[in-house]
Structure 1
């Protein structure tokens, strides 16, 4: 079994120590509880769930993790998808579908165009969110891409969009990637409309030039601001490309050297983190059920006392 942690080992180690310290503190509370043995069993179950999540964060798997001696081409690139999930992406002016449908299709094509790479999905409307952390597990990424849709809450309205909302998140993600994969290229693909109807302040991408990628613009009606998208492309140091329905991803949006993985240099790796997260979820669901039942009993007892 090999490990490829989602965070640099020192950062992950700090998190492990902090969580274990919190569990030790809670052990004293469990030991002093009236329920005694039941409280201890619940403490053990929750602690085991925490440990399973920490193991999952270390990304265990079968196969060999690529060594630092491999060339960037053999190691693959770090590919970041920055996706506009505001109400602008729900506008149906991209052929016969919505802008989001076009975004999903382009993301699928780009995943196929970068074999052996790691991918991350950073979504935004008025605020950013990491929908998928940097990982080479494209098998699990595909359903995440299929499920991408515009946000439904009020903060995702066309007048609230911040086209540069993901700037700081992307910047720190790139810093971490350069530390963890110093020989790998960092590619950024931005999908959006430029927040043409927004009255909110707009952020700026201060990430420095990346190694490749593109800014993709969608639609031709409300919300499309080509000038804003070209500014974002200039900030990232990548080309701007206006997307049309049915067209393949332009060759210029791909890296200058296609990513090709040498099967002997990078043995295929099977991820096992999902097994640990699934077991942790079952344990936490049991704890949630027991906590809810305990709350109901306490409320019932209180009502009886008051009556």
Structure 2
């Protein structure tokens, strides 16, 4: 649409001032115009022009854009959700990560690298210890996601009831099912970060629940494994400088041993790669993983309205009203001077 001709489909407002300040200014201006007329009956002929001038200037400062005919545009955009499932059980405090860091610290660092390479994705965070919690619903705010990751601490050893890699499975499956129902065009990836250790006292030969239902609802992802089979002690995150977690049966510092075999089984059930992130792990494997993650694309068709800015027309109308008011004022001044002559 050119000029101001053609059908107007709607109006979009882009005010040049705070809307509250603008509304207050228009109200004050109208009061200043109307009060003398109502109180003293003065200038009943000129007040409509001044009131209209106040309104036109207010509309001009509110900066309306007239939306005319629409132009259809189509294209594809990356549209994927990365559901991060992070183990925060006490064993993730073990210090056999790269550079002597804890397993959880290593997982945090890996997430910072991975999310940087997944531009445009939505990130969701589920953590588990004794309880499972969705800390961050799917969001494109990477900073908020990483802030929540940074605040995730290992569980107090007195709060846990033993760790198992299948504890978050029902919640993760429910979230994936809900995402598939609400956003069928959006791809969901699952990224599980854990050491795989099972300390629930599960009887030997008893298998954990299968992750296949979650795999059927996702479009890919990965399982990242932390720690070593040799194991390491677990410093008390809640008491810096205190002795490490103690094995109540022996009284000696407890060792947490990673279980990569369990994590490989989970990766197989999810049909995603397993990536070991032991003490010698470097960033190269993460770069390769980011490149291998599938990138679902959504086909987007948008009807984009073509806006027309009527500011010039409003400014012209305000100028005409101002000139009319100035002419009336000059005439009144002239008549007042003539009336005052002897």
> Structure 2 length normalisation: TM-score?
0.51
The corresponding residue for 1:225 is 259
Q: Secondary structure at the match of 2:136?
A: strand
From the CA coordinates, give the structure whose radius of gyration is larger.
Answer: 2
The corresponding residue for 2:86 is 83
Whether 2:124 is the aligned partner of 1:120: answer yes
Q: 2: CA distance between counterparts of 1:121 and 1:70?
A: 29
Q: In the alignment, is the contact (CA less than 8 A) between 1:194 and 1:228 conserved in 2?
A: yes
The corresponding residue for 2:111 is 107
The corresponding residue for 1:239 is 273
**Pick aligned residue for 1:207 from 187, 208, 214:** 214
Q: In the alignment, is the contact (CA less than 8 A) between 1:80 and 1:189 conserved in 2?
A: yes
Q: Secondary structure at the match of 1:100?
A: helix
Question: Unaligned stretches of 5+ in structure 1?
Answer: 1-68, 266-307
The corresponding residue for 2:176 is 174
The corresponding residue for 1:252 is 289
Alpha-carbon spacing, 1:200–1:226, altered in 2? closer, same or farther (3 Å): same
CA deviation vs aligned residue, 1:207-234 (integer Å, no higher than 9, x gap): 2332121101111123311111111111
Alpha-carbon spacing, 1:172–1:238, altered in 2? closer, same or farther (3 Å): same
Alpha-carbon spacing, 1:253–1:194, altered in 2? closer, same or farther (3 Å): farther
Q: 2: CA distance between counterparts of 1:139 and 1:224?
A: 30
Instruction: Report which stretch shifted further, 88-97 or 141-150.
Output: 141-150
> What root-mean-square deviation, in Å, do the aligned CA atoms of Structure 1 and Structure 2 show?
2.7
Instruction: Report which stretch shifted further, 172-181 or 196-205.
Output: 196-205
Q: How does 1:188-207 map to 2 (within 5 A)?
A: 188-200=190-202, 202-205=208-211, 206-207=213-214
Q: In the alignment, is the contact (CA less than 8 A) between 1:116 and 1:136 conserved in 2?
A: yes
Q: 2: CA distance between counterparts of 1:196 and 1:175?
A: 27
Q: How does 1:53-68 map to 2 (within 5 A)?
A: none
Alpha-carbon spacing, 1:254–1:191, altered in 2? closer, same or farther (3 Å): farther
Q: Secondary structure at the match of 1:154?
A: coil
> Structure 1 length normalisation: TM-score?
0.56
Q: How does 1:1-307 map to 2 (within 5 A)?
A: 71=76, 74-95=77-98, 96-152=100-156, 154-156=158-160, 160-200=162-202, 202-205=208-211, 206-209=213-216, 210-220=218-228, 221=231, 222-245=256-279, 247-248=282-283, 249-256=286-293
What is the CA distance between 1:131 and its match in structure 2?
1.4
The corresponding residue for 2:5 is none
What is the CA distance between 1:204 and its match in structure 2?
3.0
Q: In the alignment, is the contact (CA less than 8 A) between 1:125 and 1:163 conserved in 2?
A: no
Question: Unaligned stretches of 5+ in structure 2?
Answer: 1-73, 232-255, 303-342
Q: 1: CA distance between counterparts of 2:87 and 2:160?
A: 10
Q: 1: CA distance between counterparts of 2:195 and 2:290?
A: 17
Q: Secondary structure at the match of 2:214?
A: coil
